[in-house]
Amino acid sequence: MKPRRHLPGARAARRGSAVLAASLFWLAAAHAQAVPDLSSLPRPETPPPERGPVVPAQVERWRAEAKAYEYGDGVPRDAVLAAQLYCRAARYGDAESQFNLAWMLTNARGIERDEAQAAHLFAAAAEQGLPQAVNMAASLGTPLGPPPPCLRPPEQDPVTAAAKPAPTPRARLGLRAPASAFAALPPPPNAPQPIVRFVDLVAPEYKLAPQLVLAVMATESGFDPGALSPKNAQGLMQLMPDTAARFKVRKLSDPVENIRGGMAYLRWLLAYYQGDVLFTLAAYNAGEGAVDRYRGVPPYAETRAYVRRILASLGGQRWHPYDASVTPPSPMLATLSAAAALPNRLR
């Protein structure tokens, strides 16, 4: 039998396969060296509380600086510093920073992967209407556990810095008139006199300071009885249809019913949060479910601005008498001190 002859094409094919195998081996080795060990990536520390007021322009600067450090745009790339800057902006309700930090945590972009924390951040951004966050929030599911430090209310924010000692038990039970500090406040300058007189007359029925009701009304509707929000909040007190039904408001377009419904809701919220005006205002804007979930003012830019504006118009008054018989207190109130004691880490 004659020996099999190797054709030139066959030898070329074998030589090409050998070269390809060697190239793939080299690429695999290079890739292994290039990809970091995810178990050794850093976990950024939570930034310390801010000192003094924080304005929206500062939050935007933090976000811009974070992007620069995340991508190395004009500065050395520094994922840890980028995460910390995103965290600072996220605490003040910046939805884009919440999303970007969540993306870094989900994909281990220079920092340790933490999908549990990312789920909270994606959810907060989605709740503010950021389109790209909605799908990510849905894919990660309902966040579990307490909100991470980057979504907790800033300790030194002017909104929370106005906190004062809790009122006496007598004031909590609503057995005395609202504090004189409220009574000394003038009505909003654009408040129509018929509305001021009606609120002055009716607010005591709900154990409310008229000044609180008028401050909420001024921010909600600007005293426009026909005000309608994109979310279908209606009237002077901007009641949502489900809230109106909850407090037995039959005709949202009726100014009298609308005001009474808003007063009933404020009375309920003050009892639920034991006279804490800060939490009451946040819940009136974002819902008590969001306040309970985030254990304070939710990390929404709109809500934080809303609360800050009304508190400023009230001279920073943090406490209001309330009627404890209206509803049991929020379970969140018993957990706030425990939440504040959590380790100062991004986890």
Active-site option among 70, 112, 127, 220: 220
Task: For residue 120, give both structure tokens.
Answer: 């909270």
d(Cα 22, Cα 14) in Å, to the nearest integer?
12
Give residues with Cβ within 8 angstroms of 127, minimum separation 6: 290, 298, 300
70 labelled catalytic: no
**Residues written for the chain:** 347
User: Across the strands, what pairs with 319?
Assistant: 276
Task: For residue 231, give both structure tokens.
Answer: 């979310």
Q: What is the dihedral of CA 164, 51, 332, 298, to 10 degrees?
A: 120
Q: How many CB atoms lie within 10 A of CB 180?
A: 8
Per the listing, tokens 């003094």 go with 52
Q: How many CB atoms lie within 10 A of CB 131?
A: 9
d(Cα 148, Cα 114) in Å, to the nearest integer?
11
Q: What is the dihedral of CA 181, 183, 189, 190, to 10 degrees?
A: 120
Catalytic residue positions?
220
